[in-house]
Amino acid sequence: MNVTEVQSQIKTKNLDNFYIFTGEEWEVQKIYINQISKVSNKQVKRIDSITDVFSTLRNKSFISQSYVYVARDDKEFMQNEKLYNLNLGDNIFILLITNVDKRTKFYKAFKDKICEFGHLKPEILKKYIQKEICLSDKNCEKLMEVCDFDYGRCLLEIDKIWQYVDGCVREYGKPCDVDINIVFESLLDDGTIYTPSKDAIFDLVDSILDGKPSFNLYQQCLDVGEATMVIIKVLYDNAKATLQVQSCESKDIGKSTGLNGWQIKNAMKHKGVYSNRELINIMNLCFECQKGIVTGMIEEEFAIPYIMVNV
């Protein structure tokens, strides 16, 4: 199954009751989940495992309302073949998987249900961005480039711009005429949105992925003015590359993962230090901190230490 097929089902309201979403574009997955919820007129209900509602699904007399159930990396379900033919009734179950292992019975049973959400094509991503914020084509392309064409990253940076604009409104007590493009260029120049990575960042990230987080290296990053968001991004990207290399069974790692030679060589240095689950947890920590900084739930100065302590 591909994204176009899911899109077609949503448009025709001819939905399946089971989907498997995977791929790096989590934010696009959220958009499709919300569209499925809207079209089916069913509320989204996040669960840890489909087994959490197993008894309810088996006994229709208990069902008073149907839902779009969403679970991430539901190992209980994936490893239990007895659940593969579970009758979902009027419910829809969407399973989000970080990595798909094509060797498993689960993959063989549901490969026609798996939809991979890769990075959007630049022209489509530009349309998504310009729905969120009125950036010029030139600045839109800059934003896509610094975010590695990742829609989720783009949204985080767009939130920064709106946070800045909201701060101006609060300071002056009334709406002010703000040129969004000037704001973007200013935040880009001062490193709030993006600062090219220097050696200090890579040394710090290497220490974390080697299982020996160094606060001395973190201090070096602070001394040279590295932006917190950039450190988090580099850590996320390197943890993800390590996960891809570590879990890849193919002899041609580059072809299977899409990583270049430098990325593979760097990831190989950290192979085996953490389990796949631990690497996923590091990525989730990064995402949690990015979101926390943008929403004001996490103070920026505490984000990296928070990640290092939890790792």
**Residue type for 38, please?**
K
Question: Can you give the pLDDT at residue 174?
Answer: 54
* 78-82, 244-248, 277-281: segment of lowest average pLDDT: 78-82
Residue with the larger pLDDT of the pair 63 and 91: 91
Question: How many angstroms separate the CA atoms of 154 and 156, rounded?
Answer: 5
Question: How many angstroms separate the CA atoms of 128 and 147, rounded?
Answer: 14
Question: Can you give the pLDDT at residue 205?
Answer: 93
Please, which pLDDT band fits residue 80 given cuts at 50, 70 and 90? confident
pLDDT 10s digits, 5-40: 999 999 999 999 899 999 888 888 999 999 999 999
Question: Can you give the pLDDT at residue 266?
Answer: 84
**Is-contact 69 94, C-beta < 8 A?**
yes
pLDDT of 307 higher than 90? yes
Please, which pLDDT band fits residue 276 given cuts at 50, 70 and 90? very high
Question: Can you give the pLDDT at residue 173?
Answer: 58
Q: What does the block give as tokens for 52? A: 């959490």
pTM of the entire predicted model: 0.59
pLDDT of 46 higher than 80? yes
Question: Can you give the pLDDT at residue 196?
Answer: 47
Classify 37 in phi/psi space as left (phi over 0), alpha (psi -120 to 50) or beta: alpha
Q: What does the block give as tokens for 64? A: 């008073």
**Residue type for 267, please?**
A
Question: Can you give the pLDDT at residue 182?
Answer: 87
